[in-house]
Amino acid sequence: MVARLKGLRLQITLLGLLFLSAGAIASKDIYTGWFSNTAVSGYDSVAYFTESKAVKGSARFKFKHKGAEWHFSSEKHLKMFQQNPEKYSPQFGGYCAWAVAARKQRAPGDPNYWKIVDGRLYLNYDSEIQKKWLQDIPGFIKRANENWPKMTTR
C-alpha cells in the first residue's frame, strides 16, 4: 500500500512538472513570467503607441499569439494587434532589451520601463537598467538584434 501511494505521488509530481514545463516551452520566446501565459504582464501593447503610456489590458479583450495570451484595454486595440502583431509586439519577446544586448541574457521586461524607437517597442528590466539603455540606444539595439536570433527557439 505504501509503495502504491509513493508511486501515485511520483506520477502526480511528474505530471505537474510536465504541465508546467509545457507552458514554459510554449512561450519561451515571449516573456510571460513563470506562472503565467500572459505577454507584457497583461499590459496592452497597442496602448504604448496610441496613448504613449503603459495601460493594463483586460482578459475580456485577449488574443493568443506565439504561444502567449495578449490582453488589451479595448476591442479596437485587440483588432489593431490582430491585424499587425509584429508592429505592436515588444522587441525580443518582451524580454529586457538591454539584457539581450549587453549580457546575451533573458531578463524580464517590465511594462512600466519602455521606449518606442523607430516604431518599435522596447522594454527594460527596471529604472536603473533603463538609464543604461538610454545611454546608447542605437548601439544596444544593434547588439540585441545580433544576439536575439541566437537566443530564440525558432
Residues 80 and 136 grouped into a single domain: no
Range of the domain at 97: 90-154
Query: What are all long-range contacts of 120-127, with beta carbons under 8 Å and residues at least 24 apart?
Result: 120/91, 121/45, 121/48, 121/49, 121/88, 121/89, 121/90, 121/91, 122/90, 122/91, 122/92, 122/97, 123/40, 123/90, 123/94, 123/95, 123/96, 123/97, 124/96, 124/97, 124/98, 125/96, 125/98, 125/99
Please tell me the total count of domains within the chain.
2
Residues 73 and 122 grouped into a single domain: no
pTM of the model: 0.82
> What's the pLDDT tens digit per position in 16-32?
433 443 344 444 899 99
> What's the pLDDT tens digit per position in 61-75?
999 999 999 999 999
Residues 70 and 139 grouped into a single domain: no
Q: Is the pLDDT of residue 12 over 70?
A: no
